[in-house]
Structure 1
């Protein structure tokens, strides 16, 4: 019986690696403008934002990074925000690399 073709293993490894988001750069992101209507705590201390279309975005471990839900509610809720979302092999991530309201950057990984 033949062993799996090494190319398949390599391709699978590269695909799974492309799903990881580490040190995103502005040029590797899609910029979207959304109106945020809900902010809540997600799993693993994430902060989850919901927009008017029912889409959800998150700041990975946002609570561990010192962000406070009450403060975010005051700054972001029912406002139009600019999101930098990393591009992935198969589309755009829901991971927020940068969040800004008007000209004020609220959160950034850059």
Structure 2
């Protein structure tokens, strides 16, 4: 019985460490050729307490966010005025985290409107 308890404890410990690593790993910064591209019409833009800028687009179930977008010099009111009701192209890395197991919110690496790049953190 003691051997079984040890195996269970070791297995649980390894699982907890693995989950912790998956949760705290940073979002990868990828090159543009490796980023997923999606386009849509902006329906809503808002911020949260972490200064993230969140985009909701028409007919797309997931949300998109620029991590600490307000700290990168982006202005919420300017983005709302320029983008709501207009099409944009967003690019983001393909990654998975247990905190967002169904990929319902995606970290943005690039935001383009017409011929203008509004935000870009892709590798060159």
- What band does the TM-score fall into relative to the shorter chain? 0.7 to 0.9
What is the TM-score normalised by the length of structure 1?
0.79
Secondary structure of 1:44's counterpart equals coil
Q: Which has the larger radius of gyration?
A: 2
- Structure 2 gap segments, 5+ residues each: none
Give me the whole-angstrom Cα distance separating, in 2, the residues matched to 1:38 and 1:9: 37
Q: Which has the higher helix share?
A: 2
Partner of residue 42, structure 1: 48
Q: How does 1:1-110 map to 2 (within 5 A)?
A: 1-2=5-6, 3-5=9-11, 8=15, 11-12=18-19, 15-16=22-23, 20-53=26-59, 54-89=61-96, 94-110=106-122
CA displacement, residues 38-68 of structure 1 (integer Å, 9 cap, x when unaligned): 1111230011111112532111100111100
Structure 1 segments of 4+ aligned residues over 6 angstroms from their partners? none
Secondary structure of 1:45's counterpart equals coil
Q: Give the aligned CA root-mean-square deviation in angstroms.
A: 2.5
Secondary structure of 1:88's counterpart equals coil
Q: Which has the higher strand share?
A: 1
- Structure 1 gap segments, 5+ residues each: none
- Corresponding pairs, count: 109
Equivalent residues of 2:41, 2:88 under 8 A apart: yes
